[in-house]
Chain A
Amino acid sequence: MDRQKAFQHKHFAHCESGVMSLMMTHHGLPLSEAMVFGLSSALMFAYIPFVKLGGMPLIAYRSRPKSIIRGLQKNLGIKMQMHTFSNPRKGMEKLDTLLQQGKIVGAQSSVFWLPYFPPEMRFHFNAHNLIIYGKEEDQYLISDPVFESSQRCPAKDLEKARFVRGMMAPKGLLYYPRHVPRHINYKNILPVVIRKNAKAMLKTPVPIAGIRGIRALAKSIAKLSTKNPRWAKLFLGHIVRMQEEIGTGGAGFRFIYASFLQESAAILDNQDLEDASRMMTAAGDQWREFALMAVKGIRRKRGEAIDFTDLQEKLNSVADAEAEVYHTLLDTKPA
């Protein structure tokens, strides 16, 4: 029955929230990307020095992959059907069957093996999300949220991308909703998810997540002055890439969350949330200023010193700005 409804691709800032926004909207529950992101309390920060990506520590600006899908299930009562496969052939057959039933299917994939990604953007990141909505001969029709228009991908490339092994291996993950509620009680849910996210950022038990994680990263930056200058520059570049390029980047997530707060402010008719949204925008802007400073550091010629203390201070002030937003959100009385 879904077949009658024409599928419409849309451009989003981030893959997982984009896929879920489009999928829910397609199934009759219009949810903006920002709403999806906020409702699953997906805003995060984590700096995990002992998990390495390409020799560099993991820096995340949002919650773990798949947590948006899980968060929506938990908070909205959406039920998703998920399939993973140990056998790639079975995983491709299942995909074809689902498409024949007229379903649009969410899938996890690697970025590196998707041929429509620009070569410069192809890194080994395995937790990308996209929607497959059809097949024409040997080509799958793909709605990749981070692209402006829909894409095509040859079957053998998609198979490779879905079945890479390694960190965050997708194992051919496919997903689609089994149950989508018609109505959402925003007045009840929004205050809960907002508080939950603010708490997660402020009151983490571990010193590498939330606001404490941002400060831990700031501290590591200060220590770069004693490290090999070439490595120090690569580290700075890595932070910026994790922030600006991967998915939508750290600053980008702050803007998405600010947009969510604005939407919530209108739904709940709550001026405090509107103010918090503006503060979050300012924090996002500060993240971008930090990126600019870091790249200016990278540009320094050999022998010219980089002012790491300056960068540390900037990052600490980003942490201050974000902490203030979360305190404001915790103080907000639901209308």
Chain B
Amino acid sequence: MDKKNVPQDNVSTYANNKKAMYATDSAGNYNVVASSGWKIEEEATMQAVHELERMARDAYSRVKHGEKSPLFFHMYNCRMDLQVLSESTGFFKWRIKRHFKPSIFRKLSDKILEHYGDTLGLSREELCTLPEQDMDKDNG
């Protein structure tokens, strides 16, 4: 890539960080150039972020309506899916799916709840409730 073409689009997803890119100068020699981001990359990133947020929002309302346990929401809110949660807890998928049922979730032992909490970075209290904020923004 020519140095002149190194994107400097100040993309939001970099949050003022820069990425090192290899680019050629006028003599064709390679150097590292700091890029403030490419809006094409930003669009792809935001597409993925929006998809994750959409899933978290859906999950939020399903938990609110009592169809699913709070675990279901926290999984998506932590940008995970069943596969990632299963891999990161070591629990089988079918077992986690059972824990998505509110009636079963309510009866889970402290040990299991603690394990979920550790994996998702939540206290037991947080894990067992829905956050009150509205689900349009957030995630950190």
Contact = CB atoms under 8 A, between A and B. Distances in A.
Is this pair of chains taken from one and the same complex? yes
Nearest to A260: B30
Given A13-B32, A252-B21, A252-B22, A234 B47 contact: yes
**Most B Cβ at <10 Å: residue of A113, A166, A277:** A166
Contacts of B28: 278
Nearest to B11: A120
Interface in A218-261: 233-234, 237-238, 240-241, 244-245, 248-249, 251-252, 255-256, 258-259
B13 interface: yes
Contacts of A203: none
Contacts of A281: 1, 24
Interface in A136-161: 146-148, 160
A284 B1 contact: yes
A154 B58 CA distance: 33
Given A124-B80, A167-B87, A258-B30, A118 B47 contact: no
A117 to B, nearest CB: 9
Interface in B1-46: 1, 5, 12-15, 17-24, 28-30, 32, 34, 38, 40-41, 43-46
A26 interface: no
Given A13-B20, A122-B79, A252-B21, A245 B45 contact: yes
A6 interface: no
A258 B44 contact: no
A34 interface: yes
A291 B41 contact: yes
Contact of B47 (A52, A146, A284, A298): A298
**Most A Cβ at <10 Å: residue of B20, B29, B83:** B20
Interface string B44-84: 11111101000000000000000000000000000111011
B49 A255 contact: no
| Chain B interface category by residue count | 35 or more
A45 interface: no
B48 A238 contact: yes
Nearest to A168: B87
A112 interface: yes
A61 interface: no
A123 interface: yes
Contacts of B29: 262
B88 A119 contact: no
B13 A118 contact: yes
Contacts of A285: 1, 5
Contact of A258 (B14, B17, B22, B32): B22
A139 to B, nearest CB: 18
Nearest to A165: B88
A118 B32 contact: no
Contacts of A248: 19-21
A148 B34 contact: yes
A13 B22 contact: yes
A120 B45 contact: yes
Given A240-B40, A244-B41, A118 B15 contact: yes
**Most B Cβ at <10 Å: residue of A12, A34, A54, A55:** A54
B52 to A, nearest CB: 8
What are the nearest 5 A-B pairs in CB distance? A166-B87, A118-B15, A259-B30, A255-B22, A240-B44
20 contacts: A11-B18, A13-B22, A54-B84, A55-B81, A121-B14, A124-B80, A124-B84, A148-B18, A165-B88, A234-B47, A241-B41, A241-B45, A244-B40, A245-B41, A245-B45, A252-B21, A259-B22, A263-B30, A288-B1, A298-B43
Given A121-B14, A165-B88, A299-B43, 9 more contacts: A13-B21, A33-B32, A120-B45, A121-B45, A165-B90, A237-B48, A240-B44, A255-B22, A298-B44
Interface of A: 11-13, 33-34, 52, 54-55, 112-113, 118-124, 146-148, 160, 164-167, 233-234, 237-238, 240-241, 244-245, 248-249, 251-252, 255-256, 258-259, 262-263, 277-278, 281, 284-285, 288, 291-292, 294-295, 298-299
